[in-house]
Structure 1
Amino acid sequence: MTKTRSGGGTGTGAGGGSTTTQQAAKFLGVSMLAGAVLAGIALPAAGALGLAAKGSVEGFDEIPANLKRPPLSQKTTILDAEGGQIATVYSRNRTVVPLKDVSPYMRKAIVAIEDARFYEHGAVDLKGILRALNKNAQDGGVSEGASTLTQQYVKNVFVEEAGNDADKVAQATQQTLGRKIKELKYAIQVEEELGKRTILENYLNITFFGQQAYGVEAASQRYFSKSAKDLKLEEAALLAGIVQSPSRYDPLNDEQEATERRNTVLQRMADLGDVPQAQADRAKARPLGLNVSKPRNGCITAESGAGFFCDYVRKVFLQDPAFGRTQEDRSKRWDQGGLTIRTTLDDQAQQSVQDSIAGHVRQDDKVATAVTLVEPGTGRILGMGQSRPYGFGENETQINLSVDYAMGGSNYGFQVGSTFKPFTAAAAVEKGTPTSQSYPSPNKMPYPSPVQTCNGTWTNDRGETVQNETEKEIGPYSLKEATAKSINTYFVAMISDIGICPVTTLAQNMGVRMGHGKDLPQEPSLTLGSATISPLTMANAYATFANGGTYCTPVAIDSVTTADGEKLDVPKTSCKRAMSEKTAGTLNTLLRGVVEDGTGKQAGLAGRDSAGKTGTTDNRVAAWFVGYTPNMAGAVWVGSPTTRVPMENIYIGGRYHEKVFGGGVPGPIWRDAMSGALAGKPAPSLPTVKIEDPKRDKPREEERPRPDDDGKPGNGNGGAFPTPTPGFSFPPGFIGGNDGGFGNGDFGQGNE
């Protein structure tokens, strides 16, 4: 068999070149029965001997020659953009350390209690087997094992390779003669290839020490909150004693049992001469001295309320082909861990998000809020938070209210209300509609019909109606005033005029999709926010306006580094032009008017150019504010994530609200989140264009447009009626319709 020098030299092959089969043959013929018994299986003696005699060596030769030693699974560290730790995640809590960073006491203790002849035998300890066989025969059972550290290491490799597959783990640990033979062959190979020092190092890093701690470094941190290199004698003895039965000798569950086991290890070390008896006795008299650190595994432990962002990063990793060709490949790499993932999260922005949320919405309120901040031009996600924390307790959730369903969000996203209107305005401007375009915009009217869609026409077969928020909102209006006041009937007239397809096409080019992944609906009510969309999608879409009309896909990961220092390719943002710079500048002007003297006044930022749009849905079950500056965009949603809670006569954040509007609750949340996130950062100006307001900038009487000679409406530049698209006709009652009632619940969305 393999010989080694006492004290830990590298093993050398017996006989100067004997094959693995020859070494095995020497062992198998005399000890297969002992190996079988000591493996914990009850085989008849004749059967075991027969197996050894009939072909064990031949079968041994058929086992693959090379043991696959997978990289040890370790914890992955997720960092923010500046390198601050957000969270650590792992399937197995492990930090691999070299042997030099393990206390000498620990090295001696594990050898003493698990394999005292480790430095004297090869892969298999025949003397140990015979001793254990005799002891077990006297006891009438299996009371003592004889697996060497090398054999134990090989078994742990099998378990590690099985990963989280329960069936494979069961196969790797099953007490069968076949597995024992396989373990033996690989143990011989490992002894020849690695040598004692490396085997001990690998063993200490792979072994389970209970309490979710894999490897000696994780165990030392778990039980004593210190590095393995700093372990004292009695601490090392405690950890070494746990290995045989992590549940039985768990010091957190049974201090007395753990103490007795520790003292057994200490005495064994004294008997072997590893430490003087007096030193061992002093160590026995000491208390366990535990200084427990709770495992901080997973996104639930994330700093600054970034649990949902942390989970989003995990989803990105598991779904993006950049991290593995198949889902299985990506899952395996994630579980293997050992990664350092630097993300786009901005600590200042994230803290500001959390502070703003805490100042406006309470965890136990009937409704919740979700806030997402992104960077125009890069798609970098800077902040993501919500009022119901990441967790499993009361008023906690694992549903990320800021993202699509596929990325851990709610089933559909949330109806966005009037925050969708800017997409209609942008599509119209891009198509050539002047900002002076006027529509009669009565307080209430039927949906115009028919309306052109991408694949046909939409008709108002059910006689649906749309209505403005108040009875006083009666047109005609121009685009600027209609945007500032969020006039429902104006935007329904506009989308009906230009057609639905230009709106959905432009919105999709800005990254807008429904939360469940389906296409935007081909219905005029789309302009009022009937589609269910996530806050991240809305924030990133509005960033397109801030970025001069160029849309950039959202990204959450800056870099990924493996445990070996290899840099992985990460998904980059992809940018494309969604509209002209002139159109973007026009929308900047329109939406700046919303926060200056429109429905979003409460969202205005002091000393900074900002623009945005409010939104409130039917029955006030959701309220929004989505806005931006040149260097940051954000979306705020407020509502119930699970049920339709009308936000009337309701307390939110300890404040009473008779009726919730997008400008009244989400607006201030957005303002405070953005103010803190942008503190100390440059304040550039938004690129805008001059837009005349027909009501404020009236031309002289003689310059006003006059009706055509045939009596048809004028061109809409200040007149009461638009020039509609050919084939389009306004419905009866389009000019009047002020009955003071509320809009139909199917289509009508609240406006502000």
Structure 2
Amino acid sequence: MPLNTSARLSATTKRKLGQLAGAIFVSGVLVAGLLFPVAGGLGVASNRAAAAVENVSSELLNGTVPEVTTMTDVTGRPIALLFDQYRFQVGFNDINPDMIRAIVSIEDRRFFDHDGVDWKGTIRAALKNSSTGEVQQGASTLDQQYIKNYQLFVLARTEAEKQAATETTPARKLREVRMALTMEQTLTEQARRERGLGPTEAKQEAKKQIITRYLNTVPFGNNAFGIETAAQTYFGVPAKDLRVEQAALLAGMVQSSSALNPYTNPQGALDRRNLVLDTMIANFPDRREELENAKKLPLGTLPQPRVAQQGCISAKNNGFLCDYALKFLAENGLSRSTVMRGGYTIRTTLDPAV
């Protein structure tokens, strides 16, 4: 089901969008910034964004992401991992609170207060970009980053779709704004209706869902997608057991997981980690001593990233059985591509005792 933004956007949200459009006029000149880099682009960008949002699948609201399918023997012992993206989803309560604090501090410090869009940051970015006539500074909230990552790593299947998800255009930026507002408003309303929560509690529940989805979606490099896999890949622990300095390292890596890879750029990763800790000190001054001490610690990653083998090759001597099981499933309506993204558990008849 497509998202009907015309129906879902509240009067307050529509007013803010109008204020955003009005705010980009400075001294009688249309600011050529974040959303609208050419003077005639406002109407065109707005129309294109509205059309694009109308066609977005309800998958975004459901938040389904590709997960690892595990093939086991008859006792439940894993014999093969099958995946397109190496990811294990976890819930909000399975993520260390310091991971939440770290990512909010470095990426979107007003996350728990705004309605999906940081209006102050957006206008500031528009003014900043006006001097270049290009879309450079984004002021994207975690909501907007989640939408971009979801489109890129979940919905996009072709190179053209991947390019569309990352293109630096006013239409995409405005589309993300509209989708972020719609998503947050919809999830808040669902929490209010389904759980009987008041407005404030419903909004906070929606925030928990969004940040959990974000952390389950983003790539952390070395083939690790999502926070649980990243915690295991770099530190050999579940996400709920991350220490604050470990959480800060991972939070810093989402900016560029390749450039900030702790194995190929340890100094860059360390500097970025400490920057995250500095933002946490600013946001949580009562923890200053603890966080200052954390800055003195080494990266503390595993000697090598814990990377899983993918596919039936990981079954080693049981590769033939793995291939046979996949063929059997395909003949019975469960395609290989579905298996590789579905997060299933496939229990075979292999008995290690025989």
Does the 8 A contact of 1:105 with 1:232 survive in 2? yes
Which of the residues 282, 296, 300 maps onto 1:285? 296
SS at match of 1:300: helix
Alignment of 1:223-622 (within 5 A): 223-273=234-284, 276-291=287-302, 292-302=305-315, 305-317=317-329, 319-323=330-334, 330-349=335-354
CA–CA distance in structure 2, aligned partners of residues 246 and 108 of structure 1: 19
User: Which of the pair has the greater relative contact order for Cα pairs under 8 Å at 6+ separation?
Assistant: 2
TM-score under structure 2 length normalisation: 0.81
C-alpha deviations, 1:708-749, integer Å up to 9, x for none?
A: xxxxxxxxxxxxxxxxxxxxxxxxxxxxxxxxxxxxxxxxxx
Which of the residues 144, 151, 170 maps onto 1:151? 144
Report the more deviating stretch, 306-315 or 50-59: 50-59
Identity, in percent, stands at 38
| Paired position in structure 1 for 2:82 | 89
Does residue 231 of structure 2 align to residue 220 of structure 1? yes
Does residue 102 of structure 2 align to residue 109 of structure 1? yes
Does the 8 A contact of 2:45 with 2:170 survive in 1? no
**Over aligned residues, Cα RMSD in angstroms?**
2.9
Change (3 A) 1:209 1:274: farther
Does the 8 A contact of 1:20 with 1:185 survive in 2? no
SS at match of 1:73: coil
Change (3 A) 1:233 1:138: farther
Change (3 A) 1:223 1:53: same
SS at match of 2:71: strand
Q: Match of 2:141, as an amino acid?
A: T
Which of the residues 172, 176, 183 maps onto 1:179? 172
Does the 8 A contact of 1:81 with 1:344 survive in 2? yes
C-alpha deviations, 1:514-556, integer Å up to 9, x for none?
A: xxxxxxxxxxxxxxxxxxxxxxxxxxxxxxxxxxxxxxxxxxx
SS at match of 1:197: helix
Q: Match of 1:239, as an amino acid?
A: L
CA–CA distance in structure 2, aligned partners of residues 335 and 29 of structure 1: 47
> 1:62 Cα deviation (Å)?
7.3
Change (3 A) 1:147 1:288: same
SS at match of 1:56: helix
| Paired position in structure 1 for 2:190 | none
C-alpha deviations, 1:295-315, integer Å up to 9, x for none?
A: 232222225x11232233223
Does residue 46 of structure 2 align to residue 56 of structure 1? yes
| Paired position in structure 2 for 1:422 | none
CA–CA distance in structure 2, aligned partners of residues 134 and 58 of structure 1: 23
C-alpha deviations, 1:610-630, integer Å up to 9, x for none?
A: xxxxxxxxxxxxxxxxxxxxx
Give the number of equivalent residue pairs.
320
TM-score under structure 1 length normalisation: 0.40
CA–CA distance in structure 1, aligned partners of residues 166 and 49 of structure 2: 20
Report the more deviating stretch, 271-280 or 168-177: 271-280
List gaps (5 residues or longer) in structure 2: 1-7, 188-205
> 1:255 Cα deviation (Å)?
0.5
Which of the residues 1, 17, 20 maps onto 1:24? 17
CA–CA distance in structure 2, aligned partners of residues 223 and 214 of structure 1: 12
C-alpha deviations, 1:130-187, integer Å up to 9, x for none?
A: 3334555689987643010001111122123435433322222222222222222211
CA–CA distance in structure 1, aligned partners of residues 56 and 158 of structure 2: 22
CA–CA distance in structure 1, aligned partners of residues 140 and 172 of structure 2: 13
Change (3 A) 1:31 1:94: farther
SS at match of 1:119: coil
Which of the residues 173, 185, 197 maps onto 1:192? 185
Structure number with greater Rg is 1
CA–CA distance in structure 2, aligned partners of residues 274 and 197 of structure 1: 23
| Paired position in structure 2 for 1:73 | 66
Change (3 A) 1:134 1:267: farther
| Paired position in structure 1 for 2:125 | 132
CA–CA distance in structure 1, aligned partners of residues 257 and 207 of structure 2: 25
Does the 8 A contact of 2:116 with 2:144 survive in 1? yes
